[in-house]
Structure 1
């Protein structure tokens, strides 16, 4: 029982959800508004996303005893914020169902797992390091803007690493909250407790919307989210089979799409927080951090608009600092694994730099292109 309520597990789960919501909840608001959604629709979208991420994160983590964390498709939400302009809500829901059905097909027939089987561990580690690099760098850019706040968190974190390694991240976060509150940097005056309610929208299907919205939503979710999400698991030594993970996220999308659950996928950045040594020194116990993240997802779903406003009340520097500190160990381990094999070092370096660059081609993010370029370099370079 004491292991279940470990402070490090709970803190890692909370920080994962905090980072996820503060970095992209606003995009979900924009996507729902683009389809003409009312305040009730926006609340329903957040309800569906929270419930879906709770069910898949808790269920898959407990079943596989691995830190499987799911998330909404952030690039998918960004695509919807642009692509749903002028599209009726019912057609948008039809596109969500279409994208989730394609995800289920990929999972059931093992197409995604067959592709990922050919990705070397060094490239998976380089991909993870590239995805997380901007969070590590944001720690130091936030230090320049809020020297006292971030400097104190930085000092407390490394003091904790020296004497209380299990509690380094929780202590840094606590100090950050106290300093931010004392400095008047937390603006929670407009936050009120409001329960979100599901709103059913009967789907309709339009060929143009399915091709113009549904198909791109499927592609960016698989390429920009599930590829790095599975790479995070592999880079941290978890050999959880991909097909059931992909299948269940797709099934969850099918069930919750009528309420606004546009796409569910494996998390990458937030999952790395739950897989870090700060969550638990024992990799076999880190799944408990993902279970706690799932519990926090449940609350964010039930009180969607309230939680989004609460997270938004925290200073950006605090969020950037705690994310960077929580991911330092994972970034270091990933870089070490990526560059360890001299024969694959150049390909891993290309993957890391391309992914960290944030490049985007044809609407697909840098994680996909970094992995693809790394595989090409690995193919054409002679093996010594």
Structure 2
């Protein structure tokens, strides 16, 4: 019989919806050894968080995350708030003996990440950072194929994450454009995902060199915002993060890479793409066509060579067998359910799930090295985190 895991969620907007949907769905599709019980959601505005709790079937709500963390009926604290709050909440949760599930990037600085990692290790609680794109079946399949040597020695990594929601200079400010809350702009928001995909598929970064740019330096002040939409208030406000980031990378295994993250690419909605070239072949995946993995093999007959499209929805593809019949496609929401399943199984089996806080910290180490290289105009070594 599955054990109950009582969940407390901090944050109820974009990520709050995605995480709530995952908790509602996970044990209906996966044979979970742990069952999530949606105890309470937390937000600062009582009227709004109460309405959210009712809509998404949370048993109750809180307006102070500290009360949520202190509750004896909470086993798992899920953090879906801006990056500036992650460390304080996660450390308090770990000290209270709660497992911790945290949105990316893990924190706004490597120093905060180290403190979070120290806290979860000291208390022995399970910890996971939500790099949900790892959990798309095609990406997990790519991991298996690389580990099996199907593309040989990895030589090149090309990763791009392109969006266009900030192209309009009249789009109002929100927390993602303030350094004090977001840490960085496209670099941390989008770059964190492609850095994690590269680490997951290829291995550790050794050094980087990059550049960032803020194209629109003043925006209408924030009125109200949720997710990637907003309405303007009165006046204007200075943008204090980057709109776009590019960098080159060297990996400890010998591969080289190029990375681009921007919220200034008209027509690109969620173009998260990674291509990996090896000595025996290539793999390519894009979230805008997330159910497919493109594979080229030099082992094919010379007259029949070319990229083949693998539809990663068969029952033997990672995660896919728990969902729909072959060819019935998965979407963005399914990646969160897959992640929550791994989290709950880790708790049930007393094994830490992946990606862990160590993965989150190593990702932030890469992001910090990019920022350092922008300042120095030189290659910067990525700090090691153990």
Q: Mark yes or no: TM-score above 0.5.
A: no
TM-score normalised to the size of structure 1?
A: 0.25
**When you count helix as a share of all residues, which structure comes out higher?**
1
TM-score normalised to the size of structure 2?
A: 0.25
